[in-house]
């Protein structure tokens, strides 16, 4: 299986500033792991187009998978209370 390239939107970096540093490190480790396995245990496909989500404690990582070009686009990382608004 080929590795995927993970692309993170600029708005995600703004989201990360609102999260404690110790949690950011763990979340980014999970995001990097998506390059090896874009559908890790516990992932969930969302009803919108080609969107998926993984969880880390109280935070959600929303991303899209583009199989044809082997790219994962991280769209949003936010607290679970605000993620689906």
Domain with 48 in it: what CATH number?
3.30.2310.20
* Boundaries of domain holding 45: 5-79
Measured from the Cβ of residue 84, the count of other Cβ atoms closer than 10 Å reads 12
Residue 66 lies in a domain: yes
> Mean pLDDT in runs of 10 for the chain (85 residues)?
88 91 94 93 86 92 92 92 73
Residue 75 lies in a domain: yes
Q: What are phi and psi of 38, to 5 degrees?
A: -70, -10
Q: Number of structural domains, the chain?
A: 1
pLDDT number for residue 80:
87
pLDDT number for residue 1:
60
C-alpha neighbours within 13 Å on the C-beta side of residue 85: 7
Residue 60 lies in a domain: yes
13 strand-pairing partners = none
Residue 57 lies in a domain: yes
pTM: 0.88
């Amino acid at each position: 299986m080929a590795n995927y390239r993970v692309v993170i939107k600029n708005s995600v970096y703004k989201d990360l500033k609102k999260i404690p540093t110790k949690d950011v490190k763990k979340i980014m480790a999970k995001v990097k792991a998506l390059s090896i396995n874009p559908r890790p245990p516990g992932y969930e496909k969302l009803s919108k187009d080609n969107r998926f989500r993984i969880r880390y404690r109280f935070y959600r990582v929303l991303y899209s998978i583009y199989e044809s070009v082997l790219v994962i686009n991280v769209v949003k990382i936010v607290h679970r209370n605000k993620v689906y608004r």
